[in-house]
Copies of this chain bind each other. A is one copy, B any other.
Amino acid sequence: MQRNTRQRSAIVETLSRQDDFRSAQQIHEQMKVDGETVGLATVYRNLQALSRAGRLDVLVAGDGEALYRQCEDDGHHHHLVCRECGRTVEFLAPKLENAMSAIAQEHGFTDVDHTLEVFGLCTEHSGTEHAQTDRDDRSDEADA
């Protein structure tokens, strides 16, 4: 990832206009709609490169599909994602990180890494009619 190409910029551009997690194919589709002509393989290659470079969050959906979105937060964080629309809330759980390390160490595991993702239905897609106020994507902190 060392050169600036029209395609790469377009991909980054598209991602920057996107709040929620999207699959490579959705992103490619979106670009086509926007009039950008970029090969699907190129989208895949760049998403990979960008996430390797730490500029994207990647999360693997239940069915194994990879979803991407631009990082909002630098540190290690987790996501609360709407199963319907992909709307995402980031949150931190420092106590969890510690607990995980402790458990891993107890069992002699090293090089540990963990994934924690929470899936649910956001206000707009919930069957019930919850009233609530906080509906932005700002980072939050859990007490776990």
Contact = CB atoms under 8 A, between A and B. Distances in A.
Q: Do most interface residues of chain A lie in helix, strand or loop, or is the interface mixed?
A: mixed
Contacts of A114: 116-119
Interface stretch (A2-10, A40-48, A96-104): A96-104
A93 B142 CA distance: 14
Interface stretch (A12-20, A24-32, A62-70): A62-70
Contacts of A83: 111
A62 to B, nearest CB: 7
A102 B82 CA distance: 16
A46 to B, nearest CB: 19
A96 B78 CA distance: 13
A120 B96 contact: no
Given A108-B130, A142-B103, A117 B115 contact: yes
20 contacts: A60-B64, A80-B107, A93-B99, A95-B144, A96-B99, A103-B118, A107-B122, A107-B132, A107-B134, A109-B118, A109-B121, A110-B128, A110-B130, A111-B126, A112-B118, A113-B118, A113-B120, A114-B119, A115-B115, A115-B117
Given A108-B130, A110-B126, 11 more contacts: A60-B60, A64-B66, A82-B109, A89-B107, A93-B99, A99-B142, A99-B144, A103-B142, A111-B126, A113-B120, A115-B115
